[in-house]
Amino acid sequence: MSTHTLPIGDFLLTSIPIWPGRMMNPTQLFLDQTIDEIDAAHAKFPYYFGESSQELKFTLNAFLLRGPNGNVLIDTGVPSETQPSPLMSGLAEVGLTPADINFVVFTHRDFDHIGGGTLNGQPAFPNARYILGHTEYEHFCHDEGRAEMFANHIAPLENAGLLSVVDNDAEIVPGVHLYLTPGHRSGATSVTVNLRTTHHGAIILADTWHSAIQVSLPHWHMMFDEDGHAASATRRQVIEMAERDDLLVAVPHTIDHGFGKVRRDEHGYKWDPFTE
Ligand SMILES: [Zn+2]
């Protein structure tokens, strides 16, 4: 596994693979979809599937944004039992150490996104300001099912004075902002780069979709979505914006480095992956 880097204006956006690609059974992810609907999707969109309609390709990426005002890590993957972790190996591949990270953005309160932000109970990025949108932070504080996760992965950052709870549309560095995308989690914030300023814009998603098959089928909501209707509404809004503004889109659980663009087709929208 290796990293993949694309330029966006003055920035470099790198996809860091955390998991090797794996297969998930779509009937266990998209509970509202019938077998017939999944078979039809497999016939129409084979790119997203393995050998059969029972195998949907799945993965996990973290993203690194390097620019004139510092290095921003967007999500941190899962805690790793092996060291160096895939996250640290990915950073090393582009010549960075943990001390070189200036900001860590957590897009939402899930284990596979915040788990690598600490190492042995300590901040893994000692010089970084860790960023969490205020809605997600407040809901995380009251999320009983994730109390242990908060204690293990957020409290050490607070204790070290490294956590900043910010507005849901806060600027991280010039040109880089949080962008509220509720649904998967109530306060999930994606991250935008150069939004509405140039033709070199990007958005790094907070699990606004998982498989990019949901660009063509935005009503398919993942069983892990906290509010399926809100997730679907947000997904449609982001799909329309990404197509209209020709954004590079970076997606944590989508295959082929998670990079692609949203295009129109005769049925609505489709995912155009960067497979190079
Ligand atoms: Zn996730």
Give the model confidence (pLDDT) of 35-63 as tens digits. Answer: 999 999 999 999 999 999 999 999 999 99
pLDDT at 225: 95
Percent of the chain at pLDDT > 70 equals 99
pLDDT band at 267 (very low <50, low <70, confident <90, very high): confident
pLDDT at 197: 76
Mean pLDDT, all residues of the chain: 96
In this predicted structure, the answer to whether residue 160 has a pLDDT above a threshold of 90 is yes
Residue 247, by phi and psi: left (phi above 0), alpha (psi -120 to 50) or beta? beta
Give the model confidence (pLDDT) of 201-236 as tens digits. Answer: 999 999 999 999 999 999 999 999 999 999 999 999
pLDDT band at 196 (very low <50, low <70, confident <90, very high): confident
Tokens of 214: 């949901």
pLDDT at 180: 98
pLDDT at 64: 98
Cα 184 to ligand 1 centre (Å): 9
Give the model confidence (pLDDT) of 246-264 as tens digits. Answer: 999 999 999 999 999 999 9
Cα 45 to ligand 1 centre (Å): 22
In this predicted structure, the answer to whether residue 276 has a pLDDT above a threshold of 80 is no
pLDDT at 96: 98
Q: State mean pLDDT over 146-172.
A: 98
Q: State mean pLDDT over 117-125.
A: 96
Cα 157 to ligand 1 centre (Å): 21
Q: What angle do CA 166, 18, 229 make, to 5 degrees?
A: 55
231, 18, 175, 93: CA torsion to nearest 10: -170
Cα 93 to ligand 1 centre (Å): 23
Is this structure's pTM higher than 0.95? yes
Cα 253 to ligand 1 centre (Å): 7
Which domains occur in the chain, in start order? 4-273 (3.60.15.10)
| Residue 177 to residues 74, 195, 201, Cα–Cα distance (Å) | 12, 8, 12
Q: What angle do CA 89, 154, 255 make, to 5 degrees?
A: 40
N-term to C-term CA, the chain: 14
Cα 100 to ligand 1 centre (Å): 25
Amino acid at 261: K
